[in-house]
Amino acid sequence: KEGLQLEVLQAAVHAFETEAVKPISSLPRGEPRLRGFFDAWLAWGRDSPNPGGCPLMSASVELDDRPGAVRDLLVSSRRQMLAFIEKAAQLAIEEGHFRADLDLQQFAFEAFAASLGFHHAHRLLKDPQAELRMRNALERLIQWAKPTT
């Protein structure tokens, strides 16, 4: 059973990378690439054909307190996701789009929290405003990250 769970989770991680991460690599570094990622991430969660929605989000709830190889893979993929967001924000700093003193870990945490909130509102609560709420949260986050002039 664990082997099958690992395969399913690895396939989900690969699909996310293929559908949400790789397509944005051609976008300009910094804020445009980060916005592209947020759009792709939202589409991934919104348009998931899985009956349970995003398999990574579903697994996060199911496995958060179960030790083992499947949880370890999930934790690794979620840490990579946070690191990816941090790196994208760092590139936005280097491009002058975000302020130099931006707390990258806080930025990634809040972006991820917006995604978790979206999935909860969209899948469980069937909130028709879920997508708008996530977009608003991410826009506020981006505006907070920008240099003050």
**pLDDT per residue over 125-147, tens digit each?**
999 999 999 999 999 999 999 99
Measured distance CA(96)–CA(89) in Å, rounded: 11
Task: Please state the pTM of the whole predicted model.
Answer: 0.91
pLDDT in tens, 12-26: 999 989 988 999 999
pLDDT in tens, 27-85: 999 999 999 999 998 888 888 777 667 888 888 888 889 999 999 999 999 999 999 99
38 DSSP assignment: H
Measured distance CA(92)–CA(77) in Å, rounded: 23
Residue 51: what pLDDT?
Answer: 67
Distance of CA 29 to the CA centre of its chain: 18
State the sign of the Cα–Cα–Cα–Cα dihedral 51, 56, 57, 59: positive
